[in-house]
Amino acid sequence: MKKLMLMAVCSLMVLGAASTKVVAQDFLTKHYIEVSGRAHKDVAPDMIYMTITINEKDYKNSSMASVEKKMIGKFQAMGIDVKKDLVVKDMASNFKHYFLIKSDPKLMKEYQLTVHSAQQAGEVILALEQLGISEVSVDKVECSQIAKYQDEVRVAAIKSAKARATLLSEAVGHTIGRAMHISENEHNHRTYGMPQVMMVKGNLAEDQVVRVPEIEFEKIRVETTVYVKFELK
């Protein structure tokens, strides 16, 4: 009985190996067409990270606390969620001047503010100028929906590959069947033309026309290339 069971197991192993071999040979002997498809999408950044520096030495008649309070009030009036989008950067470094320059212990504090459009960034800059806050920089820009756009681009790329395969195969009297193999070469999304540092210096003159600065960030490019093998019929 044991001998019969052993023979049955061995037979199953041989059949399994033979089946795998047949599938592999079938894949290798099928006629196929290999094409590439590429797609891209330019998307506007909706996460703009700004650094705001408040230096106590710039304010002779105001304390840092009062300047901060006015700044936060301005942001709230603009509809900015200060609890979510405004944070203090590196608290330890904010007080370095107090310890290093004891003869003139002025404080400096840096904030990171996240805004969600170029228009809002311009409004923030104008508000800060009106408060006499002279140092503002844009550190980086991102898109919060980047994963969604990457998926959209992937779908567009593979549709492009299929259209190309259909065109080429029909030109030689064939049609395409199922996709036999798919690979992707995803390009890192990048920002280009982004102002790495945008400094705002000086205060508004009394007779200066008050208007929101026109700021424009170049879009983030999301792109990918796919390679597909389609069965030829």
Amino acid at 60: K
Q: Which of 19-23, 93-97, 159-163, 171-175 has the lowest mean pLDDT?
A: 19-23
Domain count, the chain: 2
- Helices assigned H by DSSP within 131-230: 146-171
pLDDT at residue 230 is higher than 80: yes
Structural domain includes residue 54? yes
Q: The CATH number of the domain where 41 resides is what?
A: 3.30.110.170
Structural domain includes residue 204? no
- 28-64 per-position pLDDT tens digit: 567 999 999 999 999 999 999 999 998 877 777 778 8
For residues 111 and 166, state if they share a domain: no
Of the pLDDT bands very low, low, confident and very high (cuts 50, 70, 90), residue 26 is low
Q: Which residue has the higher pLDDT, 228 or 2?
A: 228
Structural domain includes residue 9? no
Structural domain includes residue 220? yes
Structural domain includes residue 16? no
Check residue 62 and give its pLDDT: 79
Averaged pLDDT for residues 138-161: 95
Q: What is the CA radius of gyration of the chain?
A: 31
| Cα(62)–Cα(59) distance, integer angstroms | 5
Q: Which of 89, 102, 83, 78 is nearest to 135 (CA)?
A: 89
CB atoms within 10 A of CB 5: 9
Check residue 85 and give its pLDDT: 95
Domain that holds residue 98: 46-142
Structural domain includes residue 24? no
For residues 41 and 77, state if they share a domain: no
Using N-to-C axis directions, what is the helix angle for 118-130 and 64-77, rounded to 10°?
Answer: 140
Structural domain includes residue 229? yes
Check residue 58 and give its pLDDT: 77
Q: Is the pTM above the cut of 0.75? A: no
Check residue 186 and give its pLDDT: 80
For residues 37 and 115, state if they share a domain: no
Structural domain includes residue 23? no
Q: How far is CA 72 from the centre of its chain?
A: 28
